[in-house]
Amino acid sequence: MSNPDPVVTPIRPDRPSEEIDRVNPYLELLEKQKQAFLDRGISNLKQRKDALTKLSKALAKYSDDIITAVQEDFGHRSPHETILTEVLASQGEAALTKAKLKGWMKPHRAPSSISALPATGKIVYQPKGVIGIMGAWNYPAFLCFSPLIGVMAAGNHAMIKPPDVTPRTSEVIKDLIASTFDEEYIAVVTGEVQAAVDFSELPFDHLMYTGNTEIGRRVMMAAAKNLTPVTLEMGGKSPTIISEDYSIKRAVARIMMGKCVNSGQTCIAPDYIMLKEGKEDEFAQAWSDAVSKRYPTVADNQDITWIVNERHYQRVLSLIEDAREKGATIHQINPKNEEIPEGKRVIPHTVITNTTEDMRCMQEEIFGPVLPVKTYKTIDEAIRYVNERPRPLALYYFQNNKKKADEMIQRTISGGACLNETMLHIAHQNMPFGGSGDSGVGGYHGFDGFVQFSHKKAVLYQLRAFSPAAMLKGPYPKVAEGVLRRVTKMLG
């Protein structure tokens, strides 16, 4: 999940000499964890399942604290959304992982290879060591606990840096972990910008980052200095394409969940709509009808989550104003025409039609309840438009014809995709979640999370009585080169 407008000190390779000489304040903790990992050895199935059980119970114990903290950090957030997305989603992932972990941990037999006969091979999954996890503010608990579940399942130790934008939730996460686990196994460090910079520069065995693409680049640069492998989960502009023959009303009903949850502050929220030229007004009216029914009041609606802080609130408002000034048509949905009280960071759902490419809403990730609309003449034009831009984290396509739907999936590249739905692919724990290009590196969740945070060790088992190595020692027969050349040509 991403933060579309971060204010973070650049992580630079050309830092002043006094900064280079400065000892990283978290290095001692990392070294303590690495030593504990070596001393304890590779954990077994029971130890890992017990740890996941402890985490799930801690989530239940601290659920009220999480709800309260998130509420305070956002100013207001629907408690229903917090329970579902922060607590239950994490507990569900832990339960699925526990149920399947035994099978995941078993060595997998590799298919036979003619070039290695008569030997056989196995893939053995081993922990990497100490994993760093950098969470994101839009789902401040889930985006720490979800990767942690995969890290624990793979047998690693972990250090977590929750987001500084939601400090109250970060403190609850710190208390939850400290009261549940030994610091040498799992630890949480909190702090603002410099803390995040220091954390990203630690020599972890793997680093998981969720957030903005630009900061993701800097995290990757910092990790590269230590040859630390990374998993980056970022965002981008996820398109929602409605085919010409698909019901606008039905599409709107299914897009609503993706754009309304957390007031659109989700990395895989539908970012903009693409539909057949001439259907813009029909879409705007259908969206207005659906939103008015869902949110009949705006000013004091307990189901509406606020924009997380004033800076982001002003950023989203500026996207709307920029489009208005450049000639777009603004459809703001405020059924009772209420005035939003000062201090309440509520933005009524807004559809923007007659968009042009110079508008910021068509260039920047929205991360709010604003939905620009772009039209196409042919579906090929829509596909080309998507492919010419940075690869999105998600793509949504509404199409009745399965063959045409599959064609869209084959011809576009995105981190994930849904057909006739939005966002729910992240809830499918047996599928990987991740991006491509600007939207991310690597993927996790379920088995893919276990694999992402494991080292896949290749192990070859040779016969005791025979080894082809005995035939490959010098001096080579004179005819060997000719035979090898002929075999090369035969295989060409």
**CATH assignment at residue 96:** 3.40.605.10
Per this entry, what is the length of the chain? 492
Q: 248 and 165 share a domain? A: no
Confirm if 88 and 427 have CB atoms less than 8 A apart. no
How many domains does the chain fold into? Answer: 2
Q: 140 and 168 share a domain? A: yes
pLDDT grade for 487, boundaries at 50, 70 and 90: confident
**Pair of tokens at residue 279:** 């259907």
267 is catalytic: yes
Confirm if 343 and 309 have CB atoms less than 8 A apart. no
Asked if the structure places residue 11 within a domain, the reply is no
**Identity of the residue numbered 138:** N
Q: 28 and 110 share a domain? A: yes
Confirm if 274 and 376 have CB atoms less than 8 A apart. yes
What is the separation, in whole angstroms, between the first and last Cα of the chain? Answer: 47
Mean pLDDT of 10-26: 62
Q: 341 and 451 share a domain? A: no
CA 232/CA 438 separation, integer angstroms: 10
Confirm if 188 and 160 have CB atoms less than 8 A apart. yes
Give the CA angle between residues 358, 364, 369 to the nearest 5°.
110
Q: Which residues contact 487 (CB under 8 A, 6 or more apart)?
A: none
Residue 326 has pLDDT above 70, yes or no: yes
Beta strands in 324-425 (DSSP E): 329-332, 350-353, 370-376, 394-398, 416-419
**Which residue from 184, 183, 155 is spatially nearest to 50, judged by alpha carbons?**
155
Q: What is the pLDDT of residue 464?
A: 78
Q: Cis peptide leading into 392, omega within 30 of 0?
A: no
Q: 68 and 133 share a domain? A: yes
- How far from the centroid of its chain's Cα atoms is residue 162's Cα? 15
Active-site pick, 144, 267, 361, 418:
267
Residue 16 has pLDDT above 90, yes or no: no
Domain extent for 98: 17-235+444-455
Strand order, beta sheet including 454-461: 108-110, 120-127, 454-461
Q: 127 and 39 share a domain? A: yes
pTM: predicted TM-score of the whole model, two decimal places? 0.91
Q: 365 and 389 share a domain? A: yes
- How far from the centroid of its chain's Cα atoms is residue 172's Cα? 22
Confirm if 226 and 205 have CB atoms less than 8 A apart. no
Angle between helices 213-224 and 193-200 (to 10 degrees): 40
- Domain CATH code at residue 286: 3.40.309.10
Asked if the structure places residue 469 within a domain, the reply is no
CA 153/CA 105 separation, integer angstroms: 9
Are β-strands 239-242 and 272-276 bridged in parallel, bridged antiparallel, or unpaired? parallel
Q: 229 and 279 share a domain? A: no
CA 61/CA 53 separation, integer angstroms: 12
pLDDT in tens, 27-84: 999 999 999 999 999 999 999 999 999 999 999 999 999 999 999 999 999 999 999 9
**Identity of the residue numbered 412:** T
Confirm if 206 and 227 have CB atoms less than 8 A apart. no
Mean pLDDT in the chain?
92
β-bridge partners, 209 = 134, 232
Mean pLDDT of 111-123: 84
Q: Which residues contact 301 (CB under 8 A, 6 or more apart)?
A: 295, 346
Q: 100 and 220 share a domain? A: yes
Confirm if 412 and 392 have CB atoms less than 8 A apart. no
pLDDT in tens, 435-470: 999 998 999 999 999 999 999 999 998 887 776 776
Q: What is the pLDDT of residue 13?
A: 44
Asked if the structure places residue 178 within a domain, the reply is yes
CA 5/CA 166 separation, integer angstroms: 15
Backbone angles phi, psi at 390, to 5 degrees: -55, 145
**Pair of tokens at residue 105:** 């941990």
Q: What is the pLDDT of residue 470?
A: 66
**Which residue from 93, 184, 31, 18 is spatially nearest to 426, judged by alpha carbons?**
93
Mean pLDDT of 101-126: 89
Mean pLDDT of 367-374: 97
Asked if the structure places residue 30 within a domain, the reply is yes
**Identity of the residue numbered 48:** R
Asked if the structure places residue 188 within a domain, the reply is yes
Q: Which residues contact 73 (CB under 8 A, 6 or more apart)?
A: 137, 140, 165, 166, 167, 168, 169, 308
Q: 219 and 290 share a domain? A: no
Backbone angles phi, psi at 114, to 5 degrees: -60, -30
Confirm if 71 and 141 have CB atoms less than 8 A apart. no
- DSSP-derived letter for residue 373 is E
Asked if the structure places residue 84 within a domain, the reply is yes
Q: What is the pLDDT of residue 6?
A: 44
Higher local confidence (pLDDT), 9 or 62: 62
233 is catalytic: yes
**Pair of tokens at residue 99:** 């149920």
Q: What is the pLDDT of residue 22?
A: 81
Residue 19 has pLDDT above 80, yes or no: no
- DSSP-derived letter for residue 453 is T
Mean pLDDT of 417-426: 94
Active-site pick, 81, 86, 201, 233:
233
Tokens 């005995």 sit at which residue?
Answer: 470
Mean pLDDT of 373-383: 97
Q: How far is CA 130 from CA 30, 41, 389, in A?
A: 8, 13, 36
Q: 190 and 133 share a domain? A: yes
Asked if the structure places residue 6 within a domain, the reply is no
**Pair of tokens at residue 211:** 């957030």
Q: Which residues contact 352 (CB under 8 A, 6 or more apart)?
A: 320, 323, 328, 329, 330, 331, 359, 361, 370, 371, 372, 373
Q: What is the pLDDT of residue 12?
A: 46
Q: What is the pLDDT of residue 369?
A: 97
Q: 359 and 421 share a domain? A: yes
Asked if the structure places residue 490 within a domain, the reply is no
Q: What is the pLDDT of residue 117?
A: 79
